[in-house]
Structure 1
Amino acid sequence: MDMARDALVQEARELLAAMENALLEIEAEGASPEAINAIFRAAHTIKGSAGLFAFDRIVSFTHIAESMLDRVRNGTLPLDQPLMALLLECSDYIAELVDAIEARREDIEPDPERRARLEDALNALLGEPKAQVATVRQAAPEPAGQVEVESGESVSSDNWHLSLRFSQDVLRHGMDPMSFLRYLGTLGRIVHIVTLPDAMPAADEFDAESCYLGFEIDFASEVDRQTIEGVFEFVREDSDIRILPPHGKVAEYISLIGALPEPAGRLGEILVKGGALTSGELETVLARQAAEPVPAKPIGTLLVEQEMVPQAVVAAALTKQKQGEEKRAQEQKFIKVEVNKLDALIDLVGELVIAGAATNLLARKQKDPQFEEVSQALSTLVEQIRDAALTLRMVPIGEVFQRFPRVVRDISRELGKEIQLVVTGADTELDKSMVEKLSDPLMHIVRNAMDHGIESTAARVDAGKPAGGTLRLNAYHESGSIVIEVSDDGKGLDRERILKKGIERGLVQPDQILSDSEVFRLIFEAGFSTAETVTNLSGRGVGMDVVKKNIESLRGEVEILSRAGQGTTVRIRLPLTLAIIDGFQVMVGESTFVIPLELVIECVDVGGHDTRHNIVKLRGEPLPFLRLRELFDLPPADGVRESLVVVQYGQHRAGVVVDRLMGEFQAVIKPLGQLFNQVRGISGSTILGDGRVALILDVPNLIQRASRAQAALAWHGQATTTPEQTGGN
């Protein structure tokens, strides 16, 4: 029961996200049958799933919303802005009901006042249906040549013919057959319709919850077959629906009459009366049908003739078989797996990697060629298993991005600004554990951009900008990392104001020379704010420091790029995974360190290079570097031939000086524990093949340290150099 409940909650949230996306699409691009069907489908599926578990609160509320949506589908209710706002609020309230189900509190109404207000609004719309209006954007009528016309010997009718036999369970599933016919009427004109009650049982066998009706319909419309099939999308799996196009083949009508349970003569009369066939065409159809060789009878027909099985049972079985085949053909090739199972798999793969490293070490010590060969093959397989396992946890970042269209819509209206959201790179993948932790930092950055970054409409017009601002969310891969950018075309950051505030708070010295990036980095300090007013969204100096801490906890970094009057970009850079990496093993003295291999550019022999002031000239370019021995206060060593490992993170490079290069190594990242969480320059640890622990270096932090040291040295040199000395140089 708990597993089924969890599955319901997950499915409901996915459907609500689809519902919200469809509503926002309608608001931006206008109503379309596909979007309206998506909204209706979401509400209907949530109601049906909740009904299976007797979650009556969500069933009763969703039923009212579904009834209103049915009128929207049929064109009797206009989908205007007030109704859009009401539907979005209904979606939010259904989400509250789903949260209550997850918390095992489904018997407690989460917000009675809100429910009563929403139900009153929905019932008001249902109680006063408006006149027929055109609310669904229809495709422009296609030329006659575009209408589906079958080749071969054809009938003369210009109309579609639909033969409908609804499932007996259609009413139990919450569907009203008449709603489909009303919706069909919005796509064209129903020329002729005949209701067939032949399947009605005797009175004592009649079930009021079962549907026994069939329909033969002649329909005039310029739409294509796919559009007509879409009308019956929600009952297609359980019903027998046959659609014959204008000027259909004679052979199709022969097949239709032969497949339907009603007598051929009666069906022929209906087809002639509705205009699907002329009398002459009907005679041709019946004659051809009679002249065709009698095929071998299927087993179902034989069982019916021998009165062993009722006809209704055979018909239902054949229908189910056909639907099952179609469903399997269209079935998505995905399965849902609990996250904790994936985490357990990753942990086991990590232990396998460690065991593989120990095997390699033992093979090298034994110096047995066959043992080494087997060990190498094992390492290759472990690496492939590792990559495949990590791929299982990779999900598109669109899972985070999809919540922001609604956020931008609501906040822009609250602020009275025109803001358009542009999302790119939503299919870029990263580890699911990061996706869950990215939501809050991105939300704060987006809110700041809308509140403080993008100007009011009047201010933008005065500045010669378009009245509406643009907010961009972008994601892409670069140098083994994922980069997420939040950009706006607003007024940009005020460098001088930020610097002044930093000096007032003692964060920088008045005579200190800072680059733009260093000045903008000040806004990540706790409590730092230059806002003159505090709003519901921002301005209290709380948030950006938390953003930085959250990103750094994921072994990432955040930087700000801004140009006055043009806008601001907040760039977040994260590793692709937090579990297992390819590492480059180095040693300083007897201590072992691991550098993420994807960040290593090259290794250089330090001998022969001028390394004064921790800057080396590499191929004509200055490169700042750090000595790990000095950084971690390791004992000095004489006669060691040092090596320089050049690392790059984003657009920044630096060097790391070590004693020995040990080669590539698969590193399983282990947390350092609370005691060492605040240690800078280290992002984690790993276990070596011989059981020793090695520290994983935090490359972004090391590059930042090297760059700061270089900048401080340059500033100190400028401060202590006299004009005469400068001229002398």
Structure 2
Amino acid sequence: MSRDDDEILAVAREGFLDEAGDMLRQFEQALLVMEENPQDSENLNAAFRAAHTIKGTAGLFGFEAVVAFTHEAETLLEHLRSGTLAVDEHVTQLLLRSRDQMEALLDEVRTGARDAAVADVSRTLGAELRAAAQAAGGQPAPQELVDDTPAADADADADAGVAGAWQLSLRFGPDALRNGLDPLAFLRYLESLGRVAGIRLLTEQVPPLAALDPESCHVGVELRFDSAASRQEIEQVFEFCADDCDIAILEPQADPAQRLALLERRAAQDAAVRDRLSQTWQAFGFDLSPPASQAPEVPPAAAPAVAVAAAPVTASAPAPATTPTAAAAAAATTAARRPGDDTRFIRVRADKLDHLIDLIGELVIASSGAQLVAQQEASPAFMEAALRIEGLVEEARDGALGLRMVPVGDTFSRFQRVVRDLGKQLGKDVELVITGGDTELDKSMVEIIADPLMHLVRNSMDHGLETPEGRQAAGKPAVGKLRLNAYHEAGAIVIEVGDDGRGLNRERILAKAIERGLVPAHADLADEDIDQLIFLPGFSTAEQVTNVSGRGVGMDVVKRNIESLRGQIRVYSRPGKGATMQIRLPLTLAMIDGFLTQVGGVCYVLPLEIVSECIDVPEACTRDTQRVSGCFDLRGEVLPWLDVAAFYRHAPAPLAPNARRSLVIVRDGMKRVGLIVDRLMGEHQTVLKPLSPIFRHLRAIAGSTILGSGEVALVLDVPALVSSAVVHTTRSFTHPTHQAVSSSGLQPVLSGDAR
């Protein structure tokens, strides 16, 4: 193949792997629901459909190991669908292990490496699947899938098929090639079920060269296929092209009358076509001469004379070793289309999307520069044009960022398997409750947040939820509840992992921290500070180390990963009632609407959504010019303030005549803090840029951005600033004002400064 074909094939393979990953998630989800409700035929069909899609698409690529193993799992599923095998824990566990093995085989496809251990598992687990199927009474051929009801009972003889010569008549539609189908790939796959004993390519529909559209398909094929396969197995080969191909299949026992009926259909009153088809079929050995007497009735086992490949069914043999062409690979990526779907999707490589976001970011910076020049030129026409461009750039920015937003529910659903398996391992009955799954988050953040969520879920299962006996002794239901919730709040996304277990044992946490020297022996810490101790490196209250927890690693990694996303994590716990871990993250890491300020000649950007209001600096904040922070009264509410210039040790900047410093009130969750700045410069579309490693030691700096003038502005990490403001405030005040701050919910937070 050419280099272009290789590239197309590589892209199509990635599309197949992405699609297979989606199918695996559907497969697992359906099995978990099926375990809870064995009578739910819809989920059983969904699991069968997912396995079938993986096997069929893998067959087009020639991934034989995937096809062969998936077929074993599919056979067991067919026993469940036919009712010859009941759903129980053993069967469900076998199928879930099969799902993991399919993923391992797909990983081999992705990396191109072969692992002997994976092959050994395929053999041993495949043998277990076959044994379970044989125990149910043989291995039936997979039957046609029906979406709404279980597969209908069919005559065993009709499904079994008869060894002999099948007649296949194929007419590919004009849009087959445009839709990424390769007729040759399907014929190669067909050979995995038998032998193509005769083939003729029909060219009657090919137009003259001058009128030929190279993207249109004019292919017709007549086949004699010698095989003992069943009708369903042959139909499976062509399932992905059912929408773009007219397929007629006549069984070996079809009588001449049926063949003549098909001839009438194909000839369409064209005598020349009739003659050519008749000669071809007779050369294949098919009898077109009905006996003089009345033709016998069609045996009951025979299928209809002409059958068009119907809804997705499944093949039962490995795919051919031959690798399909690039067009066949493209067929695999488009094969997931379902008849009647109005919404169309297209897969885009992540690096191309990232490049688009980068270009939009540069466009935002260029637009800011154009506005600055327009202001300097004092040209109304120029300013109007710059503002119009700014509006369009803002729409393009929002649209581009929307492309990267995905529902967080896809990540949540992965934990159903974790909760099931870990619950059985720990001997706990746990119900997973998912809400807010449609809340969207940047895809890059979803990939990073999955690991911290895994730690939190496992921690709640192991430390938070009690055993059924312990819950009943405490007057609770035997089944514990683990909640995953997500929602938007103030321009951020909040993700909560909560349980109705025993809650945090603060006395034990504090005692363990003192024992390990993490806090002084006579430390007097607030409840919130004690809760934060669980995030310290090496901290654990587990009595013994297990394969679930107890090594003191995990929670500190959770906090570091979340903070790397400019997020924060808080703990809310009620003894005996449960605990909730709340993660607050920005919606995106690429671009934000910012509020531009200036302090000591340096520009700082605050996320616009967290800015509540701006006021003149109160007199209480200016009494002592050496102070970094303190408290002030805002309409009866006592809030802490932080002087950004003093915090970053800026030299006092001379103010213009009649200029006044300002206090920007920002909110961080339930907390509010005032930040003193020298100058307010208004809203600013901010493209976030990472800091160079040599500047990453700076406190409370989330990144940088480039202004329209070309200057660099720093993006403030508001949660870190709020923590610093509270810490400085609690250090500075020991009189009743401190008590007022504590009552407002602003407790000192353990940070580098606090320690």
Q: Say if 2:397 is the partner of 1:386.
A: yes
Structure 1 counterpart of 2:377 = 366
- Residues 1:311 and 1:707: Cα distance change in structure 2 (over 3 Å): farther
Partners of 1:103 and 1:399 in 2: how far apart? 24
**TM (normalized to structure 2)?**
0.73
Partners of 2:570 and 2:25 in 1: how far apart? 31
Deviation at 1:516, TM superposition (A): 1.5
Partners of 1:322 and 1:45 in 2: how far apart? 12
- Residues 1:327 and 1:605: Cα distance change in structure 2 (over 3 Å): same
- Residues 1:679 and 1:441: Cα distance change in structure 2 (over 3 Å): same
Q: Deviations over 1:322-373 (max 9, x none)?
A: 999x966425321111111110000000000011111010000000110011
Partners of 2:381 and 2:39 in 1: how far apart? 69
Q: Say if 2:58 is the partner of 1:68.
A: no
Partners of 1:569 and 1:185 in 2: how far apart? 42
Partners of 2:153 and 2:266 in 1: how far apart? 41
Residues 51, 59 of structure 1: 8 Å contact kept: yes
- Residues 1:616 and 1:185: Cα distance change in structure 2 (over 3 Å): closer
Figure out how many residues of one structure are paired with residues of the other and give that number: 611
Match of 2:100 among 88, 92, 95: 92
Aligned pairs for 1:118-267 (under 5 A) are 118-130=125-137, 187=152, 200=167, 206-209=224-227, 237=243
Deviation at 1:39, TM superposition (A): 1.5
Deviation at 1:676, TM superposition (A): 2.1
Structure 1 counterpart of 2:215 = none
Structure 2 counterpart of 1:616 = 632
- Residues 1:319 and 1:76: Cα distance change in structure 2 (over 3 Å): closer
Residues 30, 44 of structure 2: 8 Å contact kept: yes
- Residues 1:578 and 1:308: Cα distance change in structure 2 (over 3 Å): farther
Q: Say if 2:660 is the partner of 1:649.
A: no
Residues 168, 247 of structure 2: 8 Å contact kept: no
- Residues 1:304 and 1:432: Cα distance change in structure 2 (over 3 Å): farther
Aligned pairs for 1:280-295 (under 5 A) are none
Partners of 1:429 and 1:180 in 2: how far apart? 34
Residues 165, 224 of structure 2: 8 Å contact kept: no
Residues 356, 379 of structure 1: 8 Å contact kept: yes
Counterpart amino acid of residue 717 in structure 2: D
Which of 43-52 and 618-627 deviates more?
43-52
Deviation at 1:477, TM superposition (A): 0.4
Q: Say if 2:64 is the partner of 1:56.
A: yes
Structure 1 counterpart of 2:526 = 515
Match of 2:730 among 711, 719, 729: 711
> Aligned-pair RMSD on alpha carbons?
4.0
Residues 97, 110 of structure 1: 8 Å contact kept: no
Q: Say if 2:31 is the partner of 1:12.
A: no
Q: Deviations over 1:144-194 (max 9, x none)?
A: xxxxxxxxxxxxxxxxxxxxxxxxxxxxxxx9686679x999657989999
Q: Deviations over 1:657-693 (max 9, x none)?
A: 0111001001100000222223221100000111110
Counterpart amino acid of residue 664 in structure 1: E
Structure 2 counterpart of 1:672 = 691
Residues 15, 347 of structure 2: 8 Å contact kept: no
Partners of 2:499 and 2:310 in 1: how far apart? 55
Which of 558-567 and 328-337 deviates more?
328-337
- Residues 1:180 and 1:404: Cα distance change in structure 2 (over 3 Å): closer
Counterpart amino acid of residue 44 in structure 1: H
Deviation at 1:311, TM superposition (A): 9.8
Partners of 1:574 and 1:180 in 2: how far apart? 43
- Residues 1:211 and 1:65: Cα distance change in structure 2 (over 3 Å): closer
Which of 404-413 and 38-47 deviates more?
38-47
Partners of 2:149 and 2:654 in 1: how far apart? 88
| Structure 1 residue ranges without an equivalent (≥5) | 133-174, 215-231, 242-259, 267-296, 721-729
Partners of 1:675 and 1:529 in 2: how far apart? 33
Structure 1 counterpart of 2:35 = 27
Counterpart amino acid of residue 346 in structure 2: I
Provide the secondary structure at the position in 1 that maps to 2:268.
helix
Structure 2 counterpart of 1:80 = 88
Deviation at 1:648, TM superposition (A): 0.6
Which of 579-588 and 9-18 deviates more?
9-18
Counterpart amino acid of residue 136 in structure 2: P
Match of 2:593 among 582, 593, 596: 582
Match of 2:703 among 659, 662, 684: 684
- Residues 1:480 and 1:61: Cα distance change in structure 2 (over 3 Å): same
Counterpart amino acid of residue 476 in structure 2: K
Provide the secondary structure at the position in 1 that maps to 2:552.
coil
Provide the secondary structure at the position in 1 that maps to 2:226.
coil
Structure 2 counterpart of 1:569 = 580
**TM (normalized to structure 1)?**
0.76
Counterpart amino acid of residue 440 in structure 2: E
- Residues 1:304 and 1:30: Cα distance change in structure 2 (over 3 Å): farther
Structure 2 counterpart of 1:725 = none
Q: Deviations over 1:512-562 (max 9, x none)?
A: 543221110111111112222222111111111111100000000001010
Match of 1:398 among 367, 392, 409: 409
| Structure 2 residue ranges without an equivalent (≥5) | 1-8, 170-196, 199-222, 233-237, 249-256, 281-303, 313-334, 624-628, 740-755
- Residues 1:329 and 1:36: Cα distance change in structure 2 (over 3 Å): closer
Match of 2:118 among 90, 111, 114: 111
Residues 453, 491 of structure 1: 8 Å contact kept: yes
Residues 35, 87 of structure 2: 8 Å contact kept: no
Residues 23, 50 of structure 2: 8 Å contact kept: yes
Structure 2 counterpart of 1:633 = 649
Q: Deviations over 1:577-614 (max 9, x none)?
A: 00001111111121111111011010001155555562
**Higher RCO structure (Cα 8 Å, ≥6 apart):** 2
- Residues 1:442 and 1:563: Cα distance change in structure 2 (over 3 Å): same
Q: Deviations over 1:8-57 (max 9, x none)?
A: 22121111111000000001222322212212122222222222222222
